[in-house]
Amino acid sequence: MYYFAELVINGALTGLMYSLVALGFVLIYKSSGVPNLAAGALVMIGAYMVWLLSSYGLPLFVSILLGLAIMFGLGLLIERLLLRRMVGQPIIMVVMLTLGLEILLRGLGPGLLGAAPKPLDLGIGLAPIIVGDIFINRSYLIGGALALLMIGAALLFFRTRLGTKLRAVSDDHVSSWAVGISVERAIGVSWGLAGIAAVAAGVLWGSVQGVDWTLSMLLFPAIAVVILGGIDSILGVLVGGLIVGMLGSIIPGYVDQIVGGGTRDVVTSLIILITIMVRPYGIFGREDIERI
């Protein structure tokens, strides 16, 4: 029973950290309809950036702030240089462009900064928190809390003036133009925000598993979160993250001993497949109604 509770709690906390990665996907999809398959690579680059800045001797707090600014700029730059030229192209082109970006970044980051995993110490400490008989991973706890905070901030952000503009753009590009909203700038801002989410996710995951290229593999659970929660819903990211995290912790916790490991990817794949078969637009997503 304690084992089960431990799996649930730690799974939920990891799930929250997955949702932080997924947030970068949803923000962009919501505003521009672009599936950002480079989300994992952006998380990796964000973590590398913070590590690089702090390796120059800057305090961690300052380097995270600087990293946020740099990644915001990088997000804007990617949108301006690459994605804006793909407007109106078929979805396969856009998907492949973001995948190309992911491959490029996966080469650039470890290539320029070294492939060996880099430690990123947030000063959290490794000792688990013990509640009764349950062991809770301390960095997961802080990561989960921060993820919750970020998602809450994102939800609040969509109630501000700029957020309202973004929501208008996600509803309809042409009508947003008609009422004087700069669609290009709104999509750019959403890429910048995705960059910020990427730094947050990168720092948290980097402190858990070290900074190297494997951070970009967070893309896969993030996709499961996004598909399950609904591809254009912030609330869906939260719920989807919790479900993916818990299932991805409980099922391997019991099944791994029988089949010999690695079931987490299977659970993630099955979540994607079953969601797509049963309810393609996810729990909170908007159903696509196609015009003939």
Partner 1 sequence: MFYRLAGVHHTRYQSARRLWPVPADRWQVLFLLALAVVAPFFLSNLYLGSYLLPWLIWSAAALSLTLLMGTAGQLHFGFAAVMAIGAYSSIHLVRFGVPFEIALVGAGVTAAVIGSLFGMAALRVKGLYLVMATLAMQYLVDWVIINVPAISGGAQATLRTPTVSFLLVPVDSLVSRYYLALIWVVLVTLFFLNVKRTSFGRALVAIRDKDFAAAVIGVDPFRTKLVAFFTSSFMGGVSGAILAFAYYRAVTPEQFSFNVSIQLVAMVLVGGLGSAVGGFLGAGFVLLIPIFLTNLVAWLAGAGWIAISANLIAHVPLMIYGALIIGFLLFEPLGLAKIYDNIRKYFLVWPFRHSRS
Q: What is the Cα–Cα distance from 35 to 136, expressed in whole angstroms?
A: 34
**Residue position matching structure tokens 């505003």:** 31
How far apart are CB 142 and partner 1 at their closest, in Å?
30
How far apart are CB 7 and partner 1 at their closest, in Å?
20
Q: How many residues bind partner 1 (CB under 8 A)?
A: 47
CB nearer partner 1, residue 62 or residue 276: 276
Cβ count near 80 (within 10 Å): 14
Site for partner 1 in 104-143 (CB under 8 A): 104-108, 110-112, 114-115
How far apart are CB 270 and partner 1 at their closest, in Å?
7
Q: What is the Cα–Cα distance from 198 to 211, expressed in whole angstroms?
A: 13
CB nearer partner 1, residue 89 or residue 160: 89
Site for partner 1 in 72-91 (CB under 8 A): 82, 85-86, 89, 91
How far apart are CB 147 and partner 1 at their closest, in Å?
22
CB nearer partner 1, residue 54 or residue 275: 275
- Judge whether 221 and 244 are in contact, CB under 8 Å: yes
Q: Which amino acid is at 70?
A: I
Choosing from 13, 223, 225, 234, the residue that interacts with partner 1 (CB under 8 A) is: 223
How far apart are CB 210 and partner 1 at their closest, in Å?
17
What stretches of 85-214 adopt beta strand conformation (E)?
129-131, 134-136
- Judge whether 224 and 271 are in contact, CB under 8 Å: yes
What is the three-class DSSP state of 70? Answer: helix
Beta bridge partners of 131: 134
CB nearer partner 1, residue 65 or residue 82: 82
Residue 149 within binding range of partner 1, rule CB under 8 A? no
Question: In whole angstroms, how far apart are CA 25 and each of 17, 102, 236?
Answer: 14, 13, 12
CB nearer partner 1, residue 180 or residue 290: 290
Site for partner 1 in 238-277 (CB under 8 A): 259-263, 265-266, 268-270, 272-273, 276-277
What are the residues whose beta carbons fall under 8 Å from the beta carbon of 172, sequence distance 6 or more? none
What is the three-class DSSP state of 130? Answer: strand
How far apart are CB 45 and partner 1 at their closest, in Å?
13
What is the three-class DSSP state of 123? Answer: coil
Footprint of partner 1 (CB under 8 A)? 35, 82, 85-86, 89, 91-93, 95-97, 99-108, 110-112, 114-115, 220, 223, 227, 231, 259-263, 265-266, 268-270, 272-273, 276-277, 280, 290, 292
